[in-house]
Chain A
């Protein structure tokens, strides 16, 4: 088999894996937009905040240590314990649920029936608040995140492909973990929304707020629920991306990777987020592989948006998005 074809196959596989990571971020956007029509600008910062909280809990870091020390003249930084990863994840989920409750109680509740742009702007404010709050709570140093996920080349795939083609493919173990987690997440979310009472209520609210209210569904409960789930998805995305780069404030910028995925897959479809992520991942990687060297490289960021725009021209609602028809 020609070398270039082998390389293209390797790039395609890695593109699929990268697409899964993009989809993990996009999922959080979809969940909130689907249930409340809000484009949550704070989703990237939620991933950052969740990851910061996870590392902080795991390492036994004293929250607001810098502030406490400055006010009281103390020198406290750590509690001196190390929390196991699984317990730290559970505690972080609790924090994200509390965060969802606070968002509903102090922001969304006061903005019911406001235009979408107002809600969008509220999430911009929320994003900047959370960024500063996270900084004050956990500090701005770069933290190593280790929840036991394997990283580095997958030897089995490397050996197998080497035996088949004489060239071992590189697949990162972390990407494989992300794929497995994403599959579990999508299946769980689908089962939840199709077969649970709360899931059906969530879908009802997504379809028609007023009709859902008229049959006794609590809009406030649904919002807390959906922001909690989005917080959990943000935590998963934060773990995957944070394992690659360490937990740091640039983590909030991963939201930029989700936008073309949403444009392509649609803002209201969970499968759309996954398929959109895969198309963007493979598309940008193959373009960089084939065309990048001819145009100086670094094509991935802009090509993802070009690809999304191309899809938009033919399907403005995205691949799986709902077509909005307004009768006048």
Chain B
């Protein structure tokens, strides 16, 4: 009898403990709190892609995927708690989904030798992989975004922005201030006047900023906003009759959530993006069949194809491809975080690969290396069609002005290395 009990207890313990042979991914998500409307679609997309790989392909390289989701509420302290409580689970990579959490995790994850992927957010100079060995921010960062916005405006104006006025409405935080240095450098290069207009958190009251825009009449307005700031800014722009086609947001100001409250008035608003929009891709048919219809969708299944769902799905796809690369490199199906890092550092996304994955033309082609953890800095411009209720890409992917950005990244990462006592070099 005792033997039987011991066997049952052992069996239960084995069943309850994490399956160490699985590939464990973590999602520091926020499905609650003031930013839940944005956190839910991203988390759904991230989870659904891994579920698809498990259900359709039996995981990655024969290893099933275990996704550990930890609720941060978009709170930096909770995010760090999530990291500390899950890092012992064999997590291969962290997607912090917050610039604040990313900044906190940079020293911790580097010390623990666990890679972090801050896709389109976080510390821009983490692009320098020789300083930030375990931090990746491919395929594009905030400075790439600022540069691509200016490049787009150059294209719209026959290659010259001489004498133009460009306003930047930004969240008055480290995140919102990220593009200023880049835009100043580009202003010196292209001869436009930059007007900066900070908006305090959370951004529900922006009358002063938009009265100033009405007075100064900038030719174009860029926005680095988040949460309620985006919706209010777009509504205020509509109120003062600012031409929406001249109003361009960063990718965190370009979801359906941001434009729907302003209704028809938001028609023509533009936003940058580093991945495609909509659900007209073969992979979504598979998600419907293997995930949604099977009752395994992460959420209510009503976010599929939205801008942020697609971003979550794209992040999961990049993580899965990095894991495949790591498996090939090391000749093993099970991975350690260090091997995953190697996979991320040797990741190459080609059009042929995306087509095979059911995502033709979904994102730019790019490659990662020891020196370059940020990809090639490509982004495109999407425009909102209020009548159809959908975004559509109106440009090809454009590369950021690396002549301007590379020295800035070098300078910032060198300062970090000096401060943190890091001797730059490749980890492999």
Contact = CB atoms under 8 A, between A and B. Distances in A.
A252 B204 CA distance: 11
Nearest to A286: B208
B208 A246 contact: no
Nearest to A252: B34
B257 A151 contact: no
Contact of B34 (A14, A18, A248, A301): A248
A253 B34 contact: yes
Interface string A270-314: 000000000000000100110010001110110000000000000
Interface in A218-259: 241, 244-246, 248-254, 257
B33 interface: yes
Contacts of B209: 297
Contacts of A7: 211, 215
Nearest to B230: A245
Contacts of A145: 261
Contacts of B110: none
Interface string B220-245: 00000001100110010011110000
Contact of A170 (B204, B211, B227): B211
Interface residues of A, number: 46
Interface stretch (B193-201, B281-289, B330-338, B350-358): B193-201
A142 B239 contact: no
Contacts of B300: 66, 69, 77
Contact of B36 (A21, A135, A170, A298): A135
A153 B263 CA distance: 16
A301 to B, nearest CB: 4
A141 B37 contact: yes
A172 B241 CA distance: 11
A140 B204 contact: no
B216 to A, nearest CB: 10
B181 interface: no
Contact of B239 (A21, A151, A257): A151
B205 A142 contact: no
Contacts of A300: 200, 205, 208
A216 interface: no
Interface in A36-78: 66, 69, 73, 77
A151 B240 CA distance: 10
Nearest to B176: A298
Q: Which of A14, A143, A298 has the most CB of B within 10 A?
A: A298
A31 interface: no
A250 B202 contact: yes
Interface string B241-254: 10000000000000
A152 B40 contact: no
Given A248-B231, A250-B227, A298 B260 contact: no
A144 B204 contact: no
B260 A144 contact: yes
Nearest to A152: B239
A11 interface: yes
Contacts of B33: 249
Nearest to B239: A152
B204 A245 contact: yes
Contact of B202 (A141, A152, A253): A253
B264 to A, nearest CB: 11
B41 to A, nearest CB: 9
B37 A18 contact: no
B204 A152 contact: no
A14 B207 contact: yes
Given A144-B261, A250-B228, A297-B196, A244 B208 contact: no
Contacts of A245: 204, 228, 231-232, 235, 261
B182 interface: no
Nearest to A70: B300
A145 B235 CA distance: 12
A297 B198 contact: yes
Contact of A254 (B200, B204, B215, B241): B204
B208 A285 contact: yes
B204 A253 contact: yes
A18 B207 CA distance: 8
B198 A296 contact: yes
**Those 8 A-B pairs whose CB atoms lie nearest each other, nearest first:** A246-B261, A298-B198, A250-B228, A140-B36, A298-B172, A301-B200, A288-B208, A249-B34
Interface of A: 7, 10-11, 14, 17-18, 21, 66, 69, 73, 77, 132, 135, 140-146, 151-153, 170, 172, 241, 244-246, 248-254, 257, 285, 288-289, 292, 296-298, 300-301
21 contacts: A11-B211, A14-B207, A66-B300, A140-B31, A140-B36, A140-B40, A142-B231, A143-B261, A145-B261, A151-B235, A170-B239, A244-B204, A248-B34, A248-B228, A249-B33, A250-B202, A257-B205, A292-B208, A296-B198, A298-B200, A300-B208
